[in-house]
Chain A
Amino acid sequence: MSLAEGVRRGNVRATAKLITLIENHPESAVEDLRALHPHTGNAHIVGITGSPGVGKSTLTDALAKRWRKDGARVGIIAVDPNSPFSGGALLGDRVRMQELATDPGVFIRSMGARGRLGGLARATHNAIRVLDAGGKDVILVETVGVGQSELDIVQTADTVVVGLVPGMGDDIQSIKAGILEVADVFVINKADRPDARRLMMELQTMLDLDPEKGSAWQPPIERTVATTGEGVDMLMAAIRHHWEHLTRSGELEQRRRDRYEAELQAVVEDYWRTRFFEYWQREGHWEQMVEQLLRKETDPFSAARRLLTPFLDSESRRVGL
């Protein structure tokens, strides 16, 4: 039985193995991903982002439980940073999802970002596909959250939930630039703390001033206490509402089209890059070229051209590469 077949049958071990393969040897996972592709596209992919400690994991846990109550099958991918020094990582998000561990309707995977800076791991995207094809109805994706760009989650999720907390330096002035644009739903977590209301009003004012105001979707602001589950019903309703909006307005299809386009581009780039470096990094050619640059024996443009030559067959020469 191939891993893809295992995934389709809901086999946990096969699902886990395939994700590992995607993380470590993506090229070897291609066959399985191909086989799964027709079965993807059903899950609602929800990204949960926000600064460290805002309660992303706790919210993810609370949301997953809420969805489970409705019988939905839930996949969770939680990404944490790797140490730039050792490459290792401490993946601790599951601590807040303990009760979900033994729920057969939930699959949780922790991932190291492995050097990637966009908030997710390189493998996250395809891991989501795996869970999607495995029949999950909702896939919650917790980003790294460490003051990085939100690019990845926007390209990956259907609905992006941005978490903020009162009194944690998350006052309105310091809200990361760009976060307003990515949010489909805002959640002010730790609403049990003072100033939650104030933060909400400030945020509302800020949204009202937004030039984008008047577009079809106005990001709602929900308030939660993730640790007790307070407000989570409303948050889930808002997320679902956004999903309905996406499907009804045709925006879902537009987003997915954009996403496939970006993905196709990435796959192509990746394909070339991998082949290129595999070829040149053997036998020290790459270092030699750098050395020559250093000694001014060549310039970067000529060097690049020389390095690219073996990859250009007659056809590509024709199109001017």
Chain B
Amino acid sequence: MFDRDALRNLEQQKDEWERGPVAKTLEQFGERSEEFRTTSELPVERLYTPLEVAEADYQRDLGLPGEYPFTRGIQPTMYRGRLWTMRQYAGFGNAEESNRRYKYLLEQGQTGLSVAFDLPTQIGYDSDHSLSQGEVGKVGVAIDSLADMELLFDGIPLDQVSTSMTINAPAAILLAMYAALARKQGVALDRLRGTIQNDILKEYVARGTYIFPPRPSMRLVSDTFAFCAEQLPNWNSISISGYHMREAGCNAVQEVAFTLANAIAYVQAALDAGLDVDTFAPRLSFFFDAHNDVLEEVSKFRAARKLWARIMKERFGAKKARSQMLRFHTQTAGSALTAQQPDNNVVRVTLQALAAVLGGTQSLHTNSREEALALPTEDSVRLALRTQQVIAHESGVVNTVDPLAGSYYVEALTREIEDRVNAYIEKIDELGGAARAIEQGYIQREIQESAYTHQKDVESGERVVVGLNKYRIAEEPPTNLLRVDPVVERQEREKLVQLRARRDNARVTETLEGVRRAAAGRENLVPRLLEAVDAYATLGEICDVLRGEFGVHQASVVF
């Protein structure tokens, strides 16, 4: 990108500068640290100049926005055209209560819904299962059947919103419920917009809400890919997530590496199931974390886009531009928040959100200040949303595309991350791909190693966390945190009793048998799931049938 002679001159100049003014300053004042590193332990130089990016080739490495390799963004005009989708993850208690929260958020200017499910739902148990005790409605909304879905979206026309559902092991079932509900609302399936997370591999690694063993789980994923490709062309059939692995402790490089490795596994599985890459790849979406180290995060997003474009084009021969684009949702880093001096979290979230926007995210969730302690109250959620709105309308960073491109530091860091991610992907390929690497505990161990190192650095004070290990104050623990009324659990159980009495149980049995047969065979499961949910078979009943056919995953804890 630079003239050779100019570079040579610069090299000489920089050398003199280092021996002259820099050496003198160092002698007098020193620097705050022997060496500087990013949050992910990448070394940071004192100064970046064209010398550090001399290898870069503009066309090859950056290109134009909306063009291969999409380093600068997936869309030619980016936020000059349309802002990102502001999407606050929400849901707690029962469907009615969550419905109220959604309507509130939409009134406040939020542009997409994001459904959080409670743990029993995520693990395929009904609210009246013994393991559900104490968990119903706690971390999200409890959905037992289509009846709950009807309440959850009451008064919200499904063709008017885009809905993201954080659901993995039973993703196909919740998708079926959403589709069944659309039919009831008279909305054609091809008008549905949204995302199911459907990323089971990272559940084994980090998030823990798996049900079935990897093989049948991967089949469920492929089945949803095929079903979506055919019937829900505007639906993201998966959100391949680095977020939870990052939250579990890995660094930015590992986040991208493990996410892309998982993505490769999904694409491969779908190809093995006989799908054509360009039919499903356009509907693959991603989900990343935004941490505090702003420039590293921006570089991470840029590197991820470029890497994915290369992988899709070169490894999988995807032809459509949309198949090569890495579209992603971002959530700010929950693990970077502190329970101490929770107001400081507002500042952290602002930095993180800024990084996501500068990195070109397609949608964003900003965490609320007390998220380290409990579910956010309505006030905190509003503040978190306002943070996005201030960035969007007041900061000015949205007015040009990829504004940090060309920063010597950001470009050098983008390149560094790319190289390191490639090394990881090679290693995982050697291990036989992501699924095998997970089975062998490789990815888990990498994450834990980083998590433990981080913790030790925080405890030794080497890594400063404001308000936690430095600048501490005596403070009273916060009160008035949002709580889920325990009565919800009882109500949900009663609702189930009524449902089972009300519905056509013969049809339930029959459609469940259909699910069982499909599970035992090879046909796509999703249409059978649709029939079952439509007959008001519960999530737990359907999952029990699948557990019977597929077995359950035994966790492999690896240290």
Contact = CB atoms under 8 A, between A and B. Distances in A.
Interface of A: 53, 58, 90, 92, 95-96, 98, 227-228
Contacts of A58: 554
Contacts of A227: 213, 554
A95 B213 CA distance: 16
Contacts of B554: 58, 96, 98, 227
B213 A92 contact: no
B551 A95 contact: no
B440 interface: yes
Contacts of B440: 53
Nearest to B441: A53
B551 A228 contact: yes
A95 B559 CA distance: 12
B559 A92 contact: yes
A8 B40 CA distance: 56
A90 B551 contact: no
Contacts of B555: 95
Among B554, B557, B558, the most chain A Cβ lie within 10 Å of the Cβ of B554
Interface string B460-488: 00000000000000000000000000000
A228 B549 CA distance: 12
A189 B555 CA distance: 18
A228 B213 CA distance: 10
B160 interface: no
Interface of B: 213, 440, 551, 554-559
Nearest to A90: B559
15 contacts: A53-B440, A58-B554, A90-B559, A92-B557, A92-B558, A92-B559, A95-B555, A95-B556, A95-B557, A96-B554, A96-B556, A98-B554, A227-B213, A227-B554, A228-B551
Contacts of A96: 554, 556
Given A92-B558, A96-B554, A227-B554, 7 more contacts: A53-B440, A58-B554, A90-B559, A92-B559, A95-B555, A96-B556, A227-B213
Nearest to A226: B554
Minimum-distance CB pairs A-B, first 5: A95-B557, A90-B559, A92-B557, A227-B554, A92-B559
A307 B264 CA distance: 68
A191 B2 CA distance: 58
Contacts of B558: 92
Nearest to A58: B554
Nearest to B556: A95
Contacts of A98: 554
Contacts of A92: 557-559
A96 B558 CA distance: 11
Nearest to A168: B440
Contacts of B213: 227
Contacts of B556: 95-96
A268 to B, nearest CB: 38
A251 B554 CA distance: 39
A92 B213 CA distance: 20
B430 to A, nearest CB: 13
A92 B556 CA distance: 9
A90 B440 CA distance: 18
Nearest to A228: B551
A234 B440 CA distance: 26
A95 B551 CA distance: 17
A231 to B, nearest CB: 15
A92 B440 CA distance: 15
A24 B210 CA distance: 39
Contacts of A90: 559
B340 to A, nearest CB: 29
A227 B556 CA distance: 11
A58 B556 CA distance: 10
A58 B551 CA distance: 15
A227 B551 CA distance: 10
A224 to B, nearest CB: 15
Contacts of B557: 92, 95
A53 B440 CA distance: 8
Nearest to B555: A95
Nearest to B432: A167
A228 B559 CA distance: 23
B217 to A, nearest CB: 14
A146 to B, nearest CB: 13
A95 B558 CA distance: 10
A96 B556 CA distance: 8
A53 B444 CA distance: 15
B455 to A, nearest CB: 16
B194 to A, nearest CB: 35
A110 to B, nearest CB: 13
Nearest to B215: A192
Among B551, B557, B558, the most chain A Cβ lie within 10 Å of the Cβ of B557
Contacts of B551: 228
A65 to B, nearest CB: 12
Nearest to B440: A53
A242 to B, nearest CB: 28
A100 to B, nearest CB: 12
A112 to B, nearest CB: 14
A92 B554 CA distance: 13
A173 B551 CA distance: 35
A101 B300 CA distance: 44
Nearest to A91: B559
B279 to A, nearest CB: 30
B452 to A, nearest CB: 12
A100 B557 CA distance: 17
A58 B553 CA distance: 12
Nearest to B213: A227
A287 to B, nearest CB: 34
